[in-house]
A = this chain, B = another copy of it.
Amino acid sequence: MTERSPLAPAAFPDLPPVAGVTARVSRARYKNWDRCDLTYVELSEGTAVAGVTTQSKCPSPEVEWCRDAIPLGSARALVVNAGNANAFTGHRGRAAVEAIAAKVANHLDCQPSDVFISSTGVIGVPLPVDKAEAGLEAAFAAAPCGWEDAATTIGTTDTYAKGARASAMIGGTRVELVGIIKGSGMIAPDMATMLGYIFTDAAIDPKLLQQMLSAANRTSFSCITVDSDTSTSDTVLAFATGKAGNAPLASMEDAGADAFAAALDDLCRQLAHLVVRDGEGATKFVEIAVEGAESDASAHRIALSIANSPLVKTAIAGEDANWGRVVMAIGKAGEPADRDRLSIRFGATQVASGGLAVEGYDEAPVAAHLKGQDIAIGVDLGLGDGRATVWTCDLTHGYISINADYRS
């Protein structure tokens, strides 16, 4: 790992074990790395699964595999390969995925479709089946590891291991949720890849879990951007072992379903923020909150237009209260907006309102806010009730260095 992001938390959090989940790591040696690169997670029988994957039209075979297996609702294992994304590798890439699933299914005596697989790293190089199989053999024989080892092993150019927890009470039973995630680390010529895994001991129907995960995704992973580039491999999976012993959740009307959904939302948002805080070259964590839009969807598109604007991101890197660039990004979003109703704040200070600069606004608190690491930009469109919040980071020389200065 390269130098730890300045936005990283002080340490990896203290995460509880999740009953029914056993992780192991090994060295498949996909790259010339002096570290483990294969993560193997065994899940107890009866584990429910849900997932969301990249919208890319050119997904990796791992993504296609997961898309096919998620609707079946059950999982027994997760395999994550780091160092090779296996994307754009044709039938050989697909064959590697099938070989991994078959080997694990044989080991656990389960269906291949119960085995979930992700790969991250260089694209265009088929995942070597021999290395994957040897890595799996080593993982099968390895001692169980802790969450930090698993979170480290799924990483590529991440500068720190990322994990988070949440819990909920379901009818008097406490359930735990733990998540690990990697991204948006990249190294030339690798792709940005975000892979996230959530484990819970809650008993929950996979369809309900999917409904909750899809909802949580809309306000977490779908609300972050480092550089607007969508990977071929993005995947978030949630596994529920049911070992907590709660009365199984099957619909949002069940007691405790709200609490579990809230915990899942919270966990997903924590994980999403950890990814932004490791954005390439990031020195500022930026929250962009849009309200007063014609709809939530419109607010979301406007917020992303601001978050993806290189001019907004470089202004924040330069600690420059350049609200004109925010106006520009709103204007280009193609969404309903009325220049003369717009207001914009940096931190708590209104800088523009009613179509022009707030005359004589106090620049001192704005300058102080922009010197910090956590930046908040607020936009009120003054049109309706639509609102959305997204998170991003600034755009710095560090991003260029990571992605341009080194050759593949």
* Chain A interface (Cβ < 8 Å from any Cβ of B): 54-59, 87-90, 92-93, 122-126, 186, 188-192, 227-232, 308-311, 314-315, 317-325, 327-340, 342, 352, 354-357, 394-397, 399-401, 403-408
Residues of B within 8 A of A92 (CB): 356
Residues of B within 8 A of A333 (CB): 57
Contact A331 B90, beta carbon cutoff 8 Å = no
Contact B232 A318, beta carbon cutoff 8 Å = no
Contacts A58-B342, A318-B407, A319-B407 known; 5 new A-B pairs at CB < 8 A: A92-B356, A124-B357, A126-B356, A318-B405, A400-B400
A400-B56 CB under 8 A given contacts A231-B328, A328-B232:
no
For this complex, 18 residue pairs linking A to B, each with C-beta atoms less than 8 Å apart, are A57-B332, A57-B333, A58-B328, A58-B330, A59-B331, A87-B324, A90-B355, A123-B327, A126-B356, A188-B314, A188-B315, A189-B320, A231-B328, A310-B403, A311-B403, A318-B407, A320-B407, A397-B397
Interface residues of chain A: helix, strand, loop or mixed (majority): loop
A334-B400 CB under 8 A given contacts A124-B357, A189-B315:
no
> Shortest beta-carbon distance, A366 to chain B, in Å?
11
Residues of B within 8 A of A55 (CB): 332, 334
Contact B408 A311, beta carbon cutoff 8 Å = no
Kindly report which residue of chain B lies nearest to residue A321, judged by CB atoms: B408
Residues of B within 8 A of A186 (CB): 311
Contact B189 A57, beta carbon cutoff 8 Å = no
Contact B88 A354, beta carbon cutoff 8 Å = no
Residues of B within 8 A of A57 (CB): 330-339
Q: How far is the CA of A310 from the CA of B313 in the complex (A)?
A: 13
Kindly report which residue of chain B lies nearest to residue A316, judged by CB atoms: B404
A400-B404 CB under 8 A given contacts A228-B310, A232-B328, A324-B124:
no
Contact A309 B188, beta carbon cutoff 8 Å = no
